[in-house]
Amino acid sequence: MKLNILFGGASFEHEISIVSAITLKEKLSNYELNFIFCDQDHTFYLIDASKMKATTFSRGEYKKMPKLTLSQGSFVQKGMFNSLEISATVLNLIHGGDGEDGSIAALLDFFSIKYIGPRIDASVFSYDKRYTKWLCAARGVKCLESQELSSSEHSNIQIPYPIIVKPSRLGSSIGVSIVKEESKLDYALDSAFEFDNSVIVEPFLQGVKEYNLAGFSANSKFCFSIVEEPQKEEFLDFEKKYMDFSRSGHVKGAQISKELELKLRASFEKVYKNLFEGALIRCDFFVVNGEVYLNEINPIPGSMANYLFDDFEGSLKLLANSLPHTKRAKVNYEYIHSISKAKGK
């Protein structure tokens, strides 16, 4: 099977995307892969598979490789006398801004390029934590209470300490702080506001159980990963998540009851249905006194959460063969013709 792995992007999670792409090169060894890198200036490059290593990007060596443009249905490498179409389903592996905010989805839709990843509306509701909570409220999925602050508001926190402060539109725990007393609040807010002008404040629940579940819908049937209980201290900070993205070995499933597993799956389905079709996502849940709460939607999980699937290659193929089709309006100029005819022109 052929896939174009699209990675990089102009976001704070640019380097994480590179790590994910290098990991998937190993995990998808039976696929025919092209690697398309989007740099911070939004220029696309076709990366030689043998050069898929961190130093290619940190040293700027990718700039010597062929540049690509987009055309209807494909990426294109233009030559002096001819052009080469890089035609295959695209796997959107750009984390954070560009990849998860809907920008890449809009671009691929505009050029009628088939892709695995969240569509525009799904990106909107998962990229911004405020909108994720609205989605939960609309679909009957529980989430933690929260308070939103803008960059001009640094006080009036209504939620009792300890609290967790996080940018509204950022992943990988970047800019996230646990605040146990008011004297530490300003520093945490300043840190979060470096990355976003909107911040979410939530209660920090000590000792809470946390579970991750990945999955997708293919041919109107849900395919789930194992349920993972992430090993952590207080919370997974950026460094721990960064290392986590490079995982390629299978992990053990959480020791939970079938009843709880079914609850997690039910919440996942409520979030996913009629919104995330075409994407493999991971939902991170809290469990408090037996009740399931959605913590976060990861519309493009690090390394696509390959380590949670028994057969990741087979799962991705199943998803690629059941992608949604975008309906395009047919333009036939009947209206203009009828006006012209009426006017005798």
Residue with tokens 């009036």: 156
Specify the pLDDT at position 233. 59
pLDDT tens digits for range 129-146: 999 999 999 999 999 999
Residues pairing with 312 in the sheet: none
Range scoring the smallest mean pLDDT among 40-49, 200-209, 227-236, 306-315: 227-236
AA letter at 61: E
pLDDT tens digits for range 258-273: 999 999 999 999 999 9
pLDDT tens digits for range 207-225: 899 999 999 999 999 999 9
Phi/psi at 240 (nearest 5 deg)?
-65, -40
Alpha-carbon span 168 to 149, nearest angstrom? 9
Average pLDDT, the chain: 90
Specify the pLDDT at position 238. 47
Residue with tokens 């499933």: 253
What is the pLDDT confidence band of residue 345, given thresholds at 50, 70 and 90? low
Report all structural domains of the chain as residue ranges with CATH numbers, in order of start: 2-116 (3.40.50.20), 124-142+207-320 (3.30.470.20), 147-203 (3.30.1490.20)
From 235, 281, 242, 268, select the one nearest 116 (Cα to Cα): 281
Specify the pLDDT at position 326. 79
Residue with tokens 């190993």: 26
Alpha-carbon span 113 to 129, nearest angstrom? 28
What would the mean pLDDT of 65-79 be, rounded to a whole number?
A: 95
Specify the pLDDT at position 108. 97
Distances (CA, A) of 172 to 48, 217, 278: 28, 25, 23
Alpha-carbon span 143 to 150, nearest angstrom? 21
Contact (CB, 8 A) for 178 and 164 = yes
AA letter at 286: F
What would the mean pLDDT of 165-171 be, rounded to a whole number?
A: 84
| Antiparallel, parallel or unpaired: β 89-92 and 115-116 | parallel
Residues pairing with 7 in the sheet: 37
What is the pLDDT confidence band of residue 190, given thresholds at 50, 70 and 90? confident
What is the pLDDT confidence band of residue 242, given thresholds at 50, 70 and 90? very low
Specify the pLDDT at position 216. 98
Alpha-carbon span 89 to 71, nearest angstrom? 14
pTM for the model stands at 0.89
Phi-psi label, residue 38: left if phi above 0, alpha if psi -120 to 50, beta otherwise: beta
Residue with tokens 């309906």: 327
Alpha-carbon span 205 to 164, nearest angstrom? 9
DSSP-derived secondary structure for 313-341:
HHHHHHHHTT------PPP--HHHHHHHH
Specify the pLDDT at position 337. 84
What would the mean pLDDT of 107-123 be, rounded to a whole number?
A: 97
What would the mean pLDDT of 329-342 be, rounded to a whole number?
A: 85
First to last CA, the chain: 53
What would the mean pLDDT of 77-100 be, rounded to a whole number?
A: 93
The alpha helices in 70-128, defined as continuous H runs, are 103-110, 120-127
160 or 69: which leads in pLDDT: 69
What is the pLDDT confidence band of residue 276, given thresholds at 50, 70 and 90? very high
99 or 206: which leads in pLDDT: 99
Residues pairing with 269 in the sheet: none
Sheet-wide strand order for 67-71: 83-86, 74-78, 67-71, 44-47, 32-38, 2-8, 89-92, 115-116
The full length of the chain comes to 345
pLDDT tens digits for range 20-42: 999 999 999 999 999 999 999 99
What would the mean pLDDT of 91-108 be, rounded to a whole number?
A: 96
Specify the pLDDT at position 235. 52
pLDDT higher than 70, residue 232: no
Contact (CB, 8 A) for 194 and 175 = yes
From 124, 137, 98, select the one nearest 16 (Cα to Cα): 98
What is the pLDDT confidence band of residue 247, given thresholds at 50, 70 and 90? low
Alpha-carbon span 41 to 98, nearest angstrom? 12
Q: How many H-runs (helices) and E-runs (strands) does the chain carry?
A: 10, 16
